[in-house]
């Protein structure tokens, strides 16, 4: 389970980076060459999703929860925005859902 969770986190980071870099270019005036690592990051994101052993729908459902939690951590530590109690509560609820889905993979 730790291997799958780690793979989900790496996958989420690739997706976030792949979307954050164009955001920096479009909204913050960052250089256009950031689109190159953004594209590479999104390609890695798609490839990492193929490495999971379950049916794609289950993978996407569980990954979505990990993505949300990772995005909130990104928001806090990369963008420096304080998370509210609702952010934390939502992340806990979502991660419980992810755990239920992952446990179901064994059955």
Count the domains in the chain.
Answer: 1
Distances from the Cα of 80 to the Cα of 45, 75, 93, angstroms: 24, 6, 23
What pTM does this model have?
Answer: 0.86
> For 88-103, what is each residue's pLDDT tens digit?
999 999 999 999 988 8
Distances (CA, A) of 32 to 66, 97, 101: 29, 38, 39
Q: Could you tell me the residue range of the domain that residue 36 belongs to? A: 2-104
> DSSP class of residue 105?
T
Average pLDDT of the residues in 84-90 = 97
Chain segment 31-67, per-residue pLDDT in tens: 999 999 999 999 999 999 888 877 778 888 888 999 9
Helix ranges restricted to H, the chain:
2-28, 35-49, 56-77, 85-104
Tokens at 100, concatenated: 């239920």
* Average pLDDT value over all residues in the chain: 92
């Amino acid at each position: 389970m730790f291997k799958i969770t780690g793979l989900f986190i790496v996958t989420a980071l690739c997706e976030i980076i792949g979307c954050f870099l164009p955001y920096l270019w479009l909204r913050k005036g960052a250089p256009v060459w950031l689109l190159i690592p953004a594209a590479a990051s999104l390609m890695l994101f798609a490839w990492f999703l193929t490495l999971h052993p379950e049916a794609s729908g289950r993978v996407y459902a569980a990954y979505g929860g990990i993505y949300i939690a990772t995005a909130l951590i990104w928001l806090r530590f990369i963008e420096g925005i304080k998370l509210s109690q609702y952010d934390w509560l939502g992340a806990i609820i979502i991660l419980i859902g992810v755990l239920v889905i992952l446990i179901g993979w064994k059955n």
